[in-house]
Chain A
Amino acid sequence: MTAFFQNVVNALQWGSFYALIALGYSMVYGVLLLFNFAHGDIFMVGAYIGFFVATAFLALFASGVGLIALPSWAVLTLVILATMFLTSFVGMAVERIGYRPLRNAPRASAAITGLMIGIILETAVLAMFGAQRMKFPDLLPGLSSAAQPTFGGVIISWQKVLIVGVAIVLMLLLQWFVSNTKWGMAMRAMAFDFAAVPLMGVPLNRIASLTFALGSALAGAAAVLYSMAYPVLDPYMGITVGWKAFVAAILGGRGSIKGAAIAGFMLGFIEIFSATIFPSTYRDLIAYSIILIILVFRPHGLFGEEHTARLRL
């Protein structure tokens, strides 16, 4: 029973990473009918940005060392926000340079461009910081040694609670943004009929930029949370996580925000429990076979709509 609850907590933690990254894939697809295959690498760049932001902020604000002493939760909040802000520019740059010139090109061109941008980001990071892995600084020193919360006799680490909590708060914020602001409304409108949107006075390019910015900001947040749990950075860390989150986006239904969030957590559960029931080397084989079977019965994903090629004026 103890092991079971431990696994639930682990699944929630992994689900948070997948869900946050999957949202970026799904939003971009929903708005621009485009899979941004560089998204996993934007996550990776986010982790590096997080590394530098965290190092700088710890030097500035850590109690005892820094110029202005701030409690560590405040430093963590600032690190997450600053990383999200900076990573959003990576996403906007990718859209502006890589995808916008291809707005009316065949979708395959955009997909290939995405893969190439991914490779460029990986090799650029490799060239700048070398191949040795970097250690992400401990943002919450003392947390791991503090008394950990227990649930029914099971010890759950504070860190996991924090990761899942931050992820859920961010997803709720996104949901609010999409349903209550003019930009969110424009994103949804673009998902249904792209061409009619600018004719109602809505600047398409700005909404496209914003979509990439939001998706990348979430990837940046995911990168900081991920690096807290697995504090080793390398230029290829975004590939596997990125692909898995992409699977979650498909499983949730392309373009569906709710779907991406739920499927992200589902993926976490399927993976963790495959590993507990079967030998852990079979984990991905079993987990992704299950997903394949789900997709056979629901080819448009859990919350996806049947998409046919939309007319563009």
Chain B
Amino acid sequence: MPLLEVKHMTHYFGGLRAVHDFNLSIEKGEIRGLIGPNGAGKSTVFNLITGIYRPTEGDVLFKGQSIVGKHPYQIAAMGLGRTFQNLRLWRHMTVLEHVKMARYSKLTYGLFGAFFDTRKRRREEAEAEAVARELLDLLGVHNVAHELVTNLPYGMQRRVEMARALAVEPEILFLDEPTAGMNPEELVEMMEVIRQVHAEFGMAIFLIEHRMKFVMELCERIQTLVFGEVIAEGAPEEIQNNPKVIEAYLGEEVET
């Protein structure tokens, strides 16, 4: 049974068909890439799977269970973590708080526990803090744990976002353009971060990217999305040499 399976997913925004007959099957621990030109519907695919939009047609199975119609928070708590193309951090919260917040679904104490500061609450909060600190350590941002994210450089904010996504203990991690706005140096660092995270936790990763080099090096299989339709799927070399992909990226080939 694949970890995540998407079957014939189609989505309309009003009359506009944003995604058409999208199929996907990701196994445990696999790294997958989704590429395509701007406006191809890549982020929409992410939003459909993570429950922000409900697909017009088709089904999404996570660990064999349909997640269509579930709330995004339920899907996240089931073990689906994600980062965003444009960092969606909580500007005036500290780095540590970001990661602790994502432990929400693991904290089970109730209002009574909060007001009377029960042993259970203290234990759970301490656990959340310990997990958060480990993640910050892993991503090399532990020394800024008490800084507000708004004061951090961009590359570090990306790492904080990654730590936050990892705090939900994902079995699959969705990365929406993890290198957006990065310089080549930061890009290499980010690639290392992803490799390291994958080695440490072994979760499946599904990532959207623009930079071919990045996807080619990381992913085992790649899908190319153009105008909401998958036009090519395969190993990196196959995709790289696929005329349809080249056409979509560079325009039609001109005979010389």
Contact = CB atoms under 8 A, between A and B. Distances in A.
Interface of A: 177, 180-183, 185-186, 188-189, 191-193, 195-204, 305, 311, 313
A186 B104 contact: yes
A185 B97 contact: yes
A193 B82 CA distance: 15
A191 B97 CA distance: 14
B76 A199 contact: yes
A188 B100 CA distance: 13
A176 to B, nearest CB: 9
Interface of B: 47, 50-52, 71-74, 76-77, 82, 84, 86, 88-93, 97, 100-105, 107, 109, 114, 164-165, 167-168
Contacts of A188: 90, 92-93
Give chain B's interface secondary structure class: loop
A200 B91 contact: no
A183 B101 CA distance: 9
A183 B107 CA distance: 10
B168 A201 contact: yes
A201 B51 CA distance: 12
Contact of A196 (B84, B104, B105, B114): B84
Looking at A185, A191, A195, the one whose CB has the most chain B CB atoms below 10 A away is A185
A189 B52 contact: no
Contact of A313 (B47, B73, B102): B47
A198 B74 CA distance: 8
A201 B104 contact: yes
Contacts of B51: 198
A192 B91 contact: yes
A199 B82 contact: yes
Contacts of B92: 188, 192, 305
Contacts of B88: 193, 195-196
Contact of B105 (A183, A195, A202): A202
Contacts of B47: 313
A198 B104 contact: no
Nearest to B109: A182
Contact of A198 (B76, B109, B114): B76
23 contacts: A182-B101, A182-B103, A182-B104, A183-B114, A185-B93, A188-B93, A189-B90, A192-B89, A192-B90, A196-B88, A198-B51, A199-B50, A199-B82, A200-B167, A201-B73, A201-B102, A202-B73, A202-B104, A202-B105, A203-B73, A203-B74, A305-B92, A313-B47
